[in-house]
Structure 1
């Protein structure tokens, strides 16, 4: 009886020892798991903070890009506004300011007879003795309507006047307007055997703000943001 009780006690002790060992092992495993989870959370937090910084960089670059486009459009609008009442005459021999004024007056009387068009006449650029190239004449009118009438009349009548065979009258365009006109002209299909070599000129138009096309090239913006982030 005593032997049996002793064996039972030994079994209980062994069971307690096994249970304690299992609890200890489980606790160690749990602590390791907690440590691993904490490390993963720390990594996730760092990655998230890095991602937030990259997003902020992309947004800032995008804002700068849009702001730059708006500034360019404002400058372009002002340039077009300054040129809306102006046209340019090419091929006029340089003899002097008074001769330029007289030539413009005679030309306008020839192509727009009976109309009183007030103008301001000047040459574009500085005259250089070594350069034989003739500077164009810039003519400003008081009214946009006068400029349009001159351009339309010049387009229809100059080719019929031998005395003005070397003269060309063009609207005062900004560089961007000239580029846009060239693009439209190149894209226009040829008709009646006429190609891009036509002598057609852009008609005078009122000043319009250029349409804003905000570039949304995310890849390009992200590339710029990456460069900013690396700095």
Structure 2
């Protein structure tokens, strides 16, 4: 049984990590165009670095939630389980899961001279003057708006082979990530866990209107997993 889990900001919100689209989201304090686009990086790299430094510090200071640990346990019980996330934090990994990050990883940096040169960040700061071994400035290893999503094809392949497809804590408003739902086979058992699930237009999906942790326990009970 191929279980594919697709997670978004809601699973990390329980840990206290600010979401972009919530009422207290980070976008209330910053404009997308100023901190999360290639143009923003060219215009004001220091502002971009400072923004991600704040996010990185927050991630380091938080711990995985019950939902993160439940998914790690699910992967151990069913090794064919895949976790795909839109999140750039490392809470899934710290709970013990193997994860495909669609939008990059906040605790890594990459070379501006060679995209394949990726380096772990020690601590929470990445500043102007921090260079890669090639001598170029390091940038956050995240996918900005307007950039390609390198792991998308791998995620599409997994979604297309799913027997069970579970969505947790995502608004399904960010593309191309949200388009994964279009690749899930018609025969697959499809679920969505989100406090706002009942108000979401996701035809063919069974809905659990609960938080990530509570919803996962309900889902596992219903699935007898």
Higher relative contact order, chain-length normalized (CA < 8 Å, sep 6+): 1
Q: TM-score, structure 2 length as denominator?
A: 0.23
**Bigger radius of gyration, 1 or 2?**
1
Q: TM-score, structure 1 length as denominator?
A: 0.23
Q: Between Structure 1 and Structure 2, which shows a larger proportion of strand residues?
A: 2
